[in-house]
Amino acid sequence: MLTVTNLTSERDDRILFANLNFSLHAGDLLQIEGQNGSGKTTLLRILCGLSSHFSGKIYWQNQDVSQQLPNFLQALLYVGHHAGIKAALTAEENLRWMQRLHPLLNRCTITEALNQVGLYGYEDVPCYALSAGQQRRVSLARLYLSSHPLWILDEPFTAIDKKGVLEKEALIVKHVQQGGMCILTTHHDFDLPKQTIRRINLDQLAHTITSVDTTPSYLVSV
């Protein structure tokens, strides 16, 4: 269970969001919304411990994350803006290395995962010779491999074609239905009933803050 209290982030004197509070339980799917530059990526990176531009507290299983980082990292799968794959290695070699890093990438075999993302026949091609979407698919193959409880995904559908997006959406829904948690950002429409998905809109948050705070803050043009 992930809980966030009073999370505030500012960059270069612009407050992105302030006093953000939420908690995420098993089975929750949380979508961070907001226009470009509203701070979605920043928020996700803060949650993963990849950014120190924040104040506030983050708890994992009711304990401060910084007190039990290894536990938290054990449970976390993060897919960021950058694919995190080596161009010189093949898809298979890349995923094998990911498995070394994350013991919980053990749900199925690598070959199965690659088939699932439609890279059958490309196992042995070095990744630099793959198209933009195919490279992204290699990175997303981790979702099929993962038995992590918590997924944090930043624009996972970038460069993926329509059929691919539908498949990955279904996978994410399945993950939370089986008791996983997922936080993601995406500009794609996620067509799901209200009760399945929760949304936090950072644009609105930015609005509320600018009026309260005393720092000469900046209103993002809408």
Ligand X SMILES: Nc1ncnc2c1ncn2[C@@H]1O[C@H](COP(=O)(O)OP(=O)(O)OP(=O)(O)O)[C@@H](O)[C@H]1O
Site string for Mg ion, 13-32 (x = CB under 5 A): --------------------
Pull the structure tokens for residue 75: 């449970």
Taking the C-alpha atoms of residue 6 and residue 21, their distance in angstroms, rounded to an integer, is: 6
Q: Per CB under 5 A, which of residues 113..142 are in contact with Mg ion?
A: 132
Give the pairing type, strands 14-24 and 63-64.
unpaired
Cα→Cα distances 61→15, 34, 145, Å: 28, 28, 24
CB of 93 to other proteins, least distance (A): 7
**Residue 131 is a binding residue for ligand X (CB under 6 A):** yes
> What is the 3-state secondary structure of 118-184?
CCCCCCCCEHHHCCHHHHHHHHHHHHHHCCCCEEEEECCCCCCCHHHHHHHHHHHHHHHHCCCEEEE
Q: Pick what 164 binds: other proteins, Mg ion, a copy of itself, none; C-beta below 5 to 8 Å, kind-dependent.
A: a copy of itself
Q: Which one of residues 30, 34, 65, 83 is an interface residue with ligand X (CB under 6 A)? A: 34
**Which of residues 132 and 212 has its CB atom nearest to Mg ion in the complex?**
132
**Residue 132 is a binding residue for ligand X (CB under 6 A):** yes
Q: Pick what 166 binds: other proteins, a copy of itself, Mg ion, none; C-beta below 5 to 8 Å, kind-dependent.
A: none
CB of 136 to ligand X, least distance (A): 7
Number of residues forming the site for ligand X (CB under 6 A)? 20
Number of residues forming the site for Mg ion (CB under 5 A)? 2
**Which of residues 14 and 107 has its CB atom nearest to ligand X in the complex?**
14
- The answer to whether the beta carbons of residues 4 and 20 sit under 8 Å apart is yes
Give the pairing type, strands 76-79 and 150-154.
parallel
Binding footprint of ligand X on the chain (CB under 6 A): 11-12, 16, 34, 36-42, 128-134, 159, 161
